Amino acid sequence: MAKSIVTTLLLCIILTSSVKSQSEPKNAVYFELLGNGGLYSFNYERQFYKSKDVWPFGSKTLKVYGRGGLSAIAYSKLWGGTIPIECSVAFGKNKNYIEAGFGCTFIYLSFSGFDHPSIPLRIGYRLEISEYLFRVGLTPYFDQVTFNPWVGLSFGKRFDD
């Protein structure tokens, strides 16, 4: 589990090593239904990198994000939660982006403790209108031995430092 955390964080740092100044919000908080956190999660996201006029696509923009979240579940004597961590790349123009990412979701259940982490992927659509954020996408994940199809829907607010 520690190896998965370190690998995910190192890849986010490597992909976001140079930060350029920007006039748009670089932070976001949002609620995600389904997605990497399981049934739901509350998340914080930071834009680490932005580059305009990405070759060979001309007037397109490339952005790199890192995100962390938390969810909790309680039912009868069962309780637990998830901690999703993700690094994603968004590519597009104006307010419309195609987003792709990967991460690690840590799962805790009261009867078994920390389970093996799952490895979620993301491919989807991202809409940024002023200070609002909307995302919808496929978020399949790998657990110990299986591939599991999944989807996610996010809505939140972007803000500056």
| Percent of the chain with pLDDT strictly greater than 70 | 84
pLDDT at 101: 97
**Confidence band of 144 (pLDDT split at 50, 70, 90):** confident
pLDDT at 8: 59
pLDDT at 19: 47
Please check the confidence at residue 36 and state whether its pLDDT lies above 80. Answer: yes
CATH architecture observed for domain 2-159: Beta Barrel (2.40)
Q: Give CA separation, 78 vs 2, 108, 109, 110, 143, in Å.
A: 25, 11, 7, 6, 21
Q: What are phi and psi of 72, to 5 degrees?
A: -140, 145
Separation CA 82–CA 122 (nearest Å): 17
pLDDT at 73: 85
pLDDT tens sequence across 106-116: 998 887 777 77
pLDDT at 54: 75
Exposed/middle/buried for residue 33 (C-beta within 10 Å: 0-12, 13-18, 19+): middle
Domain boundaries, the chain: 2-159
pLDDT at 12: 55
